[in-house]
Amino acid sequence: MGREYQIKKRLDGPSKSGIDYAAELNEQQYAAVSSDPGASLVIAGAGSGKTRTLTYRVAYLLDQGVEARNILLLTFTNKASKEMTERVRELIPGDISDLWGGTFHSIGNRILRRHADELGFDRSFSILDRDDQKALLKPIIKGAAVDVKNKRFPKADLLLSIFSLVVNTQESLEDVLYYRYDYLQEWEDEIEKIYVGYVKKKLETNSMDFDDLLVLMLKLLKENEEIRELYQRKFRYVLVDEYQDTNMVQCEIVDLLVGKSKNLMVVGDDAQSIYSWRGADMENILKFHVRYPDAVTYKIETNYRSQPEILELSNAAISANTEQIAKKLTASREGGEMVPALLALSDPRAQADFVAQRVQELVDDGIEGEEIAVLYRAHYQSMEVQMEFTSRMIPFQITSGLRFFEQAHVKDVSSYIRFVVNRRDEISFKRMVLMLPSVGDASADKLWRAWLASDAARGEKLPQSFSATLLDFKVPAKARTYWEQMCYTLDELVVADGDESKYAAPADMIYSILEGVYEEYMKNAFDNYENRKQDIGQLQNYATQYVDVMEFLAQLSLMSNVDGDPSQQGSQKKKEEQKGVTLSSIHQAKGLEWKVVFLVWLADGMFPNGKVLETEDHKMLEEERRLFYVALTRAKDQLYLSYPMMNPRSYSGEVFQNPSRFLDDFPAELVEEWNVSDW
């Protein structure tokens, strides 16, 4: 056995901070910050000062003589890492530059830069971004000689999303396809072949993608005992932020880095675990004591964000979940401003009218637009609010994605309608044909010139049949089947009116496009196909109010160019978009807070999500309820919960909507019902 030798602490290290920890922290925070070495699980409720607890823990360790280089602080975002490091610098007067702090990916990169040769890579390996990944994948797909004669093969973006799930969930490709992409199971052999080729190509080109920074770090630590022990000796204390969001790979990495010392502090909130769809495993936090039987649990339950009326509602809402670590948030603030409001509106337009009018009233009362948020389960549920805010000139920014009418799939569908209405619309024509397999810019240009030369393009009257002309055009063999379907779909966008033709109703046009060509395209082009299909459904609902297709297209153009002159879309536009009311999905809102929150579309099938209700999956329903809880706890002062009682549908008329079942999870007296009437 080797001789033990200890290096003494340098005298020029970080000096004592002078912090009175007991005075600056509440009792629960102080207990966690000053805890003894060993494993500890810190359950930090929403708004309870999680970041404060972590940063003071680092400062406390430094004050106890632990050197900065022996501390590892793992976060999920660069923003969180930067914020925590800056806060520690403010607390500690000495040099902490040796502190290892960063995201899992950045720490993975740092370790792999030192030891990549152990895995067959050079230390100068390249890190692939999404465009690099697609460029690397393109020749592999081509080399696989996939037969796409009768059916589209998944696009590179979708394949990469599938590969990422395989890595981050540690599930087999077969299981990922079966449980998440069942409509792609027929391609399993081809996808497997491409995946193997992709992994091989990355090694050949000395390149890693972002998932490799995790999975290869795990492989290194698992297979190389010497390197594993090197980092276990180095990191005497490991701290992990947002532990409920870790996946299996990240969880194993943490366990291997901690080693026998067990000096691990993980901080998180199981009630805010909402990312299972991207591989996060809540079991990591729920079963922490299985892996660390001697771990001490600390609960931080004093909330500094919300009024007690909002917290009481939040506590009651989440209590319906069975799989959770028991906790109850208490408010440090006094209450009395308002009880959360519950509103049943007649339809989506009435809901948007209410939100817009109430926002204007709040702004007139002195609340800044930046202190107000409209939250929703899915991005498409923001459409009516976007329209109403635009018409009333209420400034807003969207964090859940592009403005509704600027999204690629909305523009794809509208390109069919635009072309039929304006047969000289080159941009719309090329957008349509570029969605076909094996059609590139050169082919699209040839097809456009052929169309321009045809009588159908030059005639004043609307042709009864586009296919009569277009089917004679020469297209790549792989595109022929899809070209024919596109032609027949264009035919459906016009209807016979005696000896002439007229445009079909806008809603009928959208239905024909979706059913005829676009749904299949979406399935194989996008990893969030279901969400995009819901967007198109919402566009179809919107179109039902228009009979005149010209008016419909005019409104689309106005809504997608709300910033006016395109020549002014530069840095000034970006600055303006940072101001105003925030429109956000709840997933994007996690970690944020506002004085006033409007939570809309609280109807069964909308929230909780309809797919979850169809599967009757208990775990998925509980995650939906955690998402509801996250939304509630974003509000500081005022909270409005609303749902439309009726929802227009193009082919089945108006559909009655039941209130979200989550509204039954708390006593009725915790909300105040507002009876909203219009003129």
Q: Catalytic annotation on 50?
A: yes
- φ, ψ for residue 577 (rounded to 5)? -70, -15
Say if CB 32 and CB 8 are below 8 A apart: no
Q: List the 581-585 sheet strands across, edge first.
A: 396-398, 581-585, 372-376, 594-599, 635-644, 341-345, 672-674
**Residue 379, token pair as written in the block:** 């991005």
Bin 279: left if φ > 0, else alpha if -120 < ψ < 50, else beta: left
272 is catalytic: yes
> Considering 52, 305, 358, 634, which one is annotated as catalytic?
634
Q: How far apart are CA 172 and CA 163, in angstroms?
A: 10
Question: Alpha-carbon Rg of the chain, whole angstroms?
Answer: 28
51 flagged as catalytic: yes
DSSP 517-581: IIHHHHHHH-TTHHHHHHHHHHHHHHHTT-S-HHHHHHHHHHHHTTT--GGG-SHHHHHHHTSSE
Options 242, 245, 384, 622, the catalytic residue = 242
Out of 28, 29, 50, 211, pick the active-site residue.
50
Q: How would you label 45-82 residue by residue, b for 16+ Cβ within 10 Å and e otherwise?
A: bbbbbbbbbbbbbbbbbbbeebbbebbbbbbbeeebbe
Both structure tokens of 75: 């976060």
The active-site residue, picked from 29, 53, 75, 272, is: 272
- Tally Cβ neighbours within 10 Å of residue 395: 14
Please confirm, yes or no, whether 532 is among the known catalytic residues: no
Strand extents, DSSP E, 234-355: 237-240, 264-268, 296-300, 302-303, 330-331, 341-345
| Residue 585, φ and ψ in degrees, nearest 5 | -70, 155
Catalytic residue among 190, 241, 270, 508: 241
Q: Which residues are catalytic?
A: 50-51, 241-242, 272, 634
